[in-house]
Amino acid sequence: MLLPGSTIGMLGGGQLGRMFTIAARNLGYKVIVLEPDPLSPAGQLADQHLQAAYDNEQALRQFGEQCDVVTTEFENIPAKTLEFLTQFCPVRPAAAAVQVAQDRIVEKEFVRSCGLSPVLFAPIREAADIPRACSQISFPAILKTARLGYDGKGQITVNNQTEVELAFQQLKAVACVLEQRVDLEKEISVVLARSVAGEMQCFPVAENLHRYGILHQTIVPARISTDLVKQAEQAAQSIAAQLEFVGVMAVEFFVTRQGELLVNEMAPRTHNSGHYTLDACLTSQFEQQVRMVCDLPFGDTRLHTPVVMMNLLGDLWGSSQPVWDELFKSPNSKLHLYGKHEARAGRKMGHFCTLHPDINSAIVEADRIFSSLQQV
């Protein structure tokens, strides 16, 4: 058990690392962030910011020697980096768990090995694989890069084999998955924590709405049946257990119009759809990550108030910043900005949470506030 005063290393300096850093420092821990961006949101608030590439061995050695435990804020840290750091201190989650989520083909095959159902897919590693893949998948479909795609990036909708061939070249002929288009009823996610001892606790299931491939709104509690909640929680816990995961992770699901639950993807880290926990749960996902990597007991994950979380992208900033008036007039809404120095279209700049005992009232108010943020 690592007690307050210990030093936690955070690989990655984005908003997830920033909110983790706030939680860790509130609990009395020191945080060192290793991140190449000199203006990183997490680096601004850490005790120390090592500005270096994730494969810089000299910096990693300095980092490892100063840390009592190391964790991550995104899944694309090189596995060799995580393995190198284990000679100095525990790394949670381990490289083997993170690696599964770095490649969509590996991830989907792993989901099947857990006895769960991913979205129907076919791997395309080279152009010669395209005819076979197209024979296995009905159109319309989505071609996705196997690695490094997120927030709708690296994804192209395709309607026939010719379009698949063109899209594959457009994606630079890297390994891809051709994924069946789903008759979608809802998208949901489970954020859970797993301890060093293998115990697990889930946060309330979230219902998610995306725009252009980026999360727009999260509604909690999700408007789904109790049976579906249990099914999603059990599926997420099965994945975490098979990975021997330590920390906080998220699993995203599709719910089809036929009521089928399909695993979309996993994230071996805190998650955008878990930001509501900062304001609506007794323990946030970020405090829970601190607790798990330091081998402390779980914090209570109960939802104390229904909540709607709204993402704020750079598109809202215009020439200056959004019109905050209505948000600040709402006494039950909480704003979180990430300290990013430049607003760009599609870039996550912050979020706000609107809390209300009635979830439908929370949705109405959150949508009204979001509409008011746009520059006229």
Q: With 70 as the cut, is the pLDDT of residue 151 above it?
A: no
Q: What is the mean pLDDT of residues 110-138?
A: 93
What's residue 75's pLDDT? 87
Query: Does any domain span residue 110?
Result: no
Same domain, 69 and 200: no
Same domain, 57 and 197: no
* Identity of residue 43: G
Q: With 80 as the cut, is the pLDDT of residue 249 above it?
A: yes
- The gap from C-alpha 131 to its chain's centroid, in whole angstroms, comes to 33
* Domain that residue 77 falls in: 7-91
What's residue 375's pLDDT? 64
Indicate the average pLDDT of the chain. Answer: 95
Structural domain ending residue among the three candidates 180, 202, 232: 180
Q: With 80 as the cut, is the pLDDT of residue 343 above it?
A: yes
What's residue 353's pLDDT? 98
Q: What is the pLDDT of residues 175-220, one digit of tens each?
A: 999 998 888 999 999 999 999 999 999 999 999 999 988 999 999 9
Query: Does any domain span residue 115?
Result: no
Same domain, 196 and 148: no
Same domain, 59 and 173: no
- The gap from C-alpha 321 to its chain's centroid, in whole angstroms, comes to 25
What's residue 288's pLDDT? 98
Same domain, 48 and 150: no
Q: What is the CATH number of the domain that holds 30?
A: 3.40.50.20
Query: Does any domain span residue 109?
Result: no
Q: What is the pLDDT of residues 263-277, one digit of tens each?
A: 999 999 999 999 999
Q: What is the CATH number of the domain that holds 306?
A: 3.30.470.20
What's residue 318's pLDDT? 77
Same domain, 189 and 316: yes
Q: How far, in Å, CA of 64 to CA of 8, rounded? A: 10
Same domain, 305 and 169: no
Instruction: Report the phi/psi class of residue 27: left, alpha or beta, with left for phi > 0 and alpha for psi in -120 to 50.
Output: alpha
Q: What is the mean pLDDT of residues 238-264?
A: 96
Q: What is the pLDDT of residues 54-77, one digit of tens each?
A: 999 999 999 999 999 999 998 889
Query: Does any domain span residue 69?
Result: yes
pLDDT band at 147 (very low <50, low <70, confident <90, very high): confident
Q: With 90 as the cut, is the pLDDT of residue 149 above it?
A: no
What's residue 320's pLDDT? 84
Same domain, 176 and 77: no
Q: What is the mean pLDDT of residues 132-136?
A: 93
Q: What is the mean pLDDT of residues 271-296?
A: 98
Same domain, 249 and 200: yes
Query: Does any domain span residue 101?
Result: no
Same domain, 218 and 339: yes
What's residue 374's pLDDT? 83
- Which residues have a Cβ under 8 Å from the Cβ of 93 and sit 6 or more positions away? 71, 72, 243, 245, 246, 247, 249, 268
Q: Which pTM does this prediction carry?
A: 0.94
Same domain, 174 and 226: no
What's residue 213's pLDDT? 85
Domain count for the chain, please give it.
Answer: 3
Q: With 70 as the cut, is the pLDDT of residue 354 above it?
A: yes
Q: With 60 as the cut, is the pLDDT of residue 376 above it?
A: no
What percentage of the chain has pLDDT greater than the value 70? 98
Q: What is the pLDDT of residues 292-339, one digit of tens each?
A: 999 999 999 999 999 999 999 999 997 789 999 999 999 999 999 999
Q: How far, in Å, CA of 24 to CA of 271, rounded? A: 17
Q: What is the mean pLDDT of residues 131-142?
A: 92
Structural domain ending residue among the three candidates 161, 180, 199: 180
Same domain, 52 and 125: no
Q: With 80 as the cut, is the pLDDT of residue 150 above it?
A: no
Q: Is the dihedral of CA 136, 140, 214, 347 positive or negative?
A: positive
Rg (Cα) of the chain, in Å, rounded? 20
